Amino acid sequence: MRPTQAAGTTTGEAFQDGNVLAGPFREFFTTDLTTATGTCAACGRAGPLAELRVYTHAPGMVARCPECDAVVMRMVRGPEAAWLDMRGTTALRIPLPGE
Amino acid sequence: MARAAVSGRLTGRLRWQTATVEDVRDETGTARTLVLRAPDWRGHAAGQHVDVRLTAEDGYSTQRSYSLASAPGGDRIELTVQRIGDGEVSPYLVDVLEAGDQLELRGPVGGWFVWDPADPSPVLLMAGGSGVVPLMSMIRTRRNVGSRVLFRLLYSVRTPEERYYARELGPGGAQGGLDITHLYTRSAPEGPRRPPGRLTEDDVAAYGWPAEFAPMCFVCGPTGFVERAAEILVAQGHDPQRIRTERFGPVGG
Ligand SMILES: Cc1cc2nc3c(=O)[nH]c(=O)nc-3n(C[C@H](O)[C@H](O)[C@H](O)COP(=O)(O)OP(=O)(O)OC[C@H]3O[C@@H](n4cnc5c(N)ncnc54)[C@H](O)[C@@H]3O)c2cc1C
Ligand SMILES: [Zn+2]
């Protein structure tokens, strides 16, 4: 049925872009965080969160650095709260639209 | 519209809303366009997506992202979904949902994979399979706003039967300044100039823009396709900052 799938079953292809975080983030942030620049605690790469590699089939969502593969962010949504674990991120620069 | 915009701003965070399926349209044997009416829709930018949430009777719920295929305007939006054989959500959206049914969605979301009609740079769109969906929104938006920005679409698809939006992207749907190239990976129509096969550097060199033109590049599709396409663009000298990607995941195409 899906011959490309055979090549695609390596874990290397199981991720999506940080774009997929846009909706979940908007559940608790009022601005789009995927255009914010995040700095990786492991390698220092700075880039938009939209470029992270996101694994949604893990428990919760796990975002890894596209440069060094370190986990930079993890998000778990429970029935009453969301957990955002950001120990892999040293800084977030959030663009603010002018008034 | 004005009232909705104000209430949206006051609310701040984005809430789930209920949309009604107005119409369904087959694109291919495995993909379908859903025309939805979303009364609280506040418009969107070309390239954005929504999250769709399905909830079972026992309370179990799951969500997936789907790109907006339509150009902004009014409270009608369109999604095009590819059925993944063993998928949890897509078979329901493609095979089960019918006109009159309701669907929960949250959006529009995503500010990165977005084409800005005010940007005069030429645009290169590269799609693998269902990855053409958000790029179609860009093409439709370009047409609706009367933009003369130069667009090139490279659309990689297995067979001619698997093309989405075949009429709009076919010879009859030509728009000035929009070049369309279909690249077939498995079987091409009679008398092909290019034998069927996966995307190559030559394809991108022949049908894309030279890097010196500094185009904005939007690449979308299954993760493997996006990896390959982005690699080729970088190898050909395109500025990585001008390559925007949307990986749909391991499947599709
Ligand atoms: C921003 C964004 C926009 C999107 N837009 C569209 C769109 O416009 N149209 C569209 O059709 N799709 C789109 N997608 C993809 C869509 O969100 C779903 O992923 C897709 O519909 C499959 O969902 P599913 O529930 O049917 O399949 P799932 O149940 O999620 O599984 C899909 C398949 O992938 C396999 N799989 C799942 N996880 C892994 C893994 N970790 N490793 C290897 N294999 C795995 C499963 O075995 C199964 O075969 C988009 C995705 C993103 C992130
Ligand atoms: Zn890193």
Interface touch B13/A30, C-beta < 8 Å: yes
Ligand 1 pocket, Cβ-based, cut-off 6 angstroms: A 9, 14, 16, 19-20, 57; B 49, 64-67, 80-82, 84, 86-90, 130, 133, 246, 248-251
Q: Say whether pLDDT at B253 is over 80.
A: no
List for chain B the helix, strand, coil content (%; round to 5).
Answer: 25, 30, 45
Q: What are the residues facing B53 on neighbouring strands?
A: B63, B104
pLDDT band at A28 (very low <50, low <70, confident <90, very high): confident
- Beta-carbon separation of B14 and A23 below 8 A: yes
Cβ contact A22:B111 at 8 Å: yes
| Interface check A2 vs B, CB under 8 A | yes
The mean pLDDT value for B90-95 works out to 97
Residues A35, A15 contacting (CB under 8 angstroms): no
Average pLDDT, chain B: 92
Taking only the tens place, the pLDDT of each residue in A32-84 is 999 999 999 999 999 999 999 999 987 899 999 999 999 999 999 888 899 99
- Tell me the three state secondary structure of residue B132: helix
Give the distance (Å) from ligand 2 centre to CA of residue A64.
Answer: 8
Q: Which of A9, A16, A50 sits opposite B248 (nearest CB)?
A: A16
Mean pLDDT along residues B204-217: 97
- pLDDT of B7 over the 70 cut: no
pLDDT at B16: 94
Specify burial of residue A24 (Cβ count, 10 A radius: 0-12, 13-18, 19+): buried
Could you give the ipTM of this predicted complex? 0.88
Q: What is the pLDDT of residues B140-189, one digit of tens each?
A: 999 999 999 999 999 999 999 999 999 999 987 778 999 999 999 998 88
> Are B109 and A7 an interchain contact pair (Cβ–Cβ within 8 Å)?
no
Find the A48 Cα to ligand 2 centroid distance in Å.
12
Q: Which ligand is nearest to the CA of A19?
A: 1
Tell me whether A11 touches chain B (CB under 8 Å).
no
pTM beyond 0.90: yes
Q: Ligand 2 centre and the CA of A86: distance in Å? A: 13
Residue pair A73/A38 in contact (Cβ under 8 Å)? The answer is yes
Which residues, chain by chain, have CB under 5 Å from ion ligand 2? A 40, 42-43, 45, 65, 67-68, 70
A15 Cα to the center of ligand 2, angstroms? 16
- Of ligand 1's listed atoms, the one at least distance from the Cα of B251 is 34
pLDDT, tens digit, for every residue of B63-85? Answer: 999 999 999 998 999 999 999 99
Between these two residues, A64 and B190, which has the higher pLDDT value? A64
**What pLDDT is attached to residue A66?**
96
Chain B residues close to A17, C-beta within 8 Å:
113, 245-247
- Six-digit token string for B93: 């959206």
Per-residue pLDDT reduced to its tens digit, B16-55? 999 999 999 999 999 999 999 999 898 999 999 999 999 9
Tell me which chain A residues have a C-beta less than 8 angstroms from the C-beta of B224: 4, 7-8, 13
Cβ neighbours of B13 in A, within 8 Å: 26-30
The reported pLDDT for the residue numbered B9 is 45
Q: How far apart are CA B75 and CA B80, in angstroms?
A: 17
What are the helix and strand counts (H, E) for chain A?
Answer: 2, 8
Q: Are B49 and B182 within 8 A, CB to CB?
A: no
pLDDT at res. B12: 73
pLDDT computed for residue B193 by the predictor:
77
Compute the distance between CA of residue B66 and CA of residue B133 in angstroms, rounded to an integer. Answer: 9
Q: What is the mean pLDDT of residues B100-109?
A: 96
How does DSSP classify residue A37? E
**Smallest Cα–Cα separation from B251: which of B130, B75, B163?**
B130
Per DSSP, the three-state class of B57 is: coil
Query: Which ligand minimizes its atom distance to the CA of A45?
Result: 2
Cross-chain residue pair B251–A27, CB shorter than 8 Å: no
- Tell me, what's the pLDDT at A71? 97
Distance CA B219, CA B232 (A): 11
pLDDT band at residue B5 under the 50/70/90 scheme: very low
